[in-house]
Amino acid sequence: MEFLPLLRELASSYQAFEKFSAPHVKSMNLTSPQFDVIASLANQPAMTCKELGEKTLITKGTLTGIIDRLVIKEIVERISNADDGRSQKIQLTAKGQEIFAHAFPRHMQHLALAFNQLSAAEMLNLSSALKKLRVAMEQHTAL
Amino acid sequence: MEFLPLLRELASSYQAFEKFSAPHVKSMNLTSPQFDVIASLANQPAMTCKELGEKTLITKGTLTGIIDRLVIKEIVERISNADDGRSQKIQLTAKGQEIFAHAFPRHMQHLALAFNQLSAAEMLNLSSALKKLRVAMEQHTAL
DNA sequence: CTATATTAGTTCTAGTTAGAACTAAATAGG
DNA sequence: CCTATTTAGTTCTAACTAGAACTAATATAG
């Protein structure tokens, strides 16, 4: 159980990220998953729910509700897919593009306040250490 | 925006942890927050909701519901606090202690499958890199 | 002492979450 | 062709989530 301190640091670091990031997103009238969806759709051709779920790491049942709410807000739209009657493509509306252009740079600036306190070498070190742990976990995760 | 790869790795690593850990907890008929609460209460004197929230990083409004469900399952109990009429103390029931004794070592064993693929030095390196990022984020988080 | 402020916990709201069951459409095998 | 399987997305359920408003009790200030 030598790994418990690491486990706790992983949980508290992620929690700290949420507390640092989410309120800033909220101040722009978006939730964190809504922001992720908008950022994934921006400057990209329209994409299916499946692709969007892979990019944002949001499972499909959850994604339906998030997109529903973004449609109500007129930030994204569903367009039917001529190639495949089962799927649709999702894209930003003009309003969604404006919101992205406003919110994205502001949020990046906010995140930079914390992340840029690490040097490039520290970022690389942290990324690769996380990746090693992630791969170890994925090996023991049912697909 | 040199920090974006690190941001993505942080999100995907945490996600991988959830996918690795939560189904195993679920297989023992507990949710992840329920497991955390039980583990925090075990081998400890009864504690208030406030203390429990600090240990588990669960906010108080959320904690009420989690404890409600653990009370229904007869895993924990609320006992009134003679010292302070506002607060209560929470403790494991005998059944809760049995569940802890069964579930905790099994889950540690499961987690060890992944975490023990890192050497002690790698764990320390990852912990301290995460801590540096966490502290940087906490500096820019409203209390 | 007494008015004020703080604290502990619950309740409420809106949204996310995963996973399972379901529907409809496309693909593959025979 | 045509059946069997797979795939895309929705719906449903149970639970978690944060934060804000609320209640009751304690602590503080004057």
Q: The domain spanning residue A125 has which CATH number?
A: 1.10.10.10
- Reported as a single tens digit per residue, the pLDDT across B68-80 is 999 999 999 999 9
Please give the average per-residue pLDDT across B86-96, as a whole number: 97
CA-based max dimension of chain B: 55
**Which range of residues forms the domain containing residue A82?**
4-139
- Reported as a single tens digit per residue, the pLDDT across A85-115 is 999 999 999 999 999 999 999 999 999 999 9
Which residue of B57, B109, B110, B122 to mutate against A (max A Cβ within 10 Å)?
B57
Which residues does strand D reach (CB under 7 angstroms)? A 15, 18-19, 22-23, 48-50, 60-61, 63-65, 67, 78, 81, 84, 86-89; B 31-34, 57-62, 65-66, 69, 84-86
Q: What is the mean pLDDT of chain B?
A: 97
Å separating the CA of residue A54 from the C1' of nucleotide D9: 14
Nucleotides of C under 7 A from a protein CB: 7-13, 15-21, 24-27
Neighbouring C-alpha atoms within 13 Å toward the C-beta of A106: 15
Question: What are the φ/ψ torsions at residue A142 (nearest 5 degrees)?
Answer: -60, 135
- Reported as a single tens digit per residue, the pLDDT across B103-114 is 999 999 999 999
The protein residue nearest nucleotide D15, judged by CA to C1', is B31
Q: Which of A71, A11, A87, A79 is nearest to A37 (CA)?
A: A71
The domain total for chain A is: 1
% residues pLDDT > 70 (chain B): 100
pLDDT at B142: 82
Coil, strand or helix at A30:
coil
ipTM of the complex, rounded to two decimals = 0.93
Give the list of residues 6+ apart from residue A60 with CB closer than 8 angstroms, or none: A49, A50, A53
Mean pLDDT per 10-residue run, chain A (143 residues)? 96 97 98 98 97 97 98 97 92 98 98 98 98 97 81
pLDDT at B109: 97
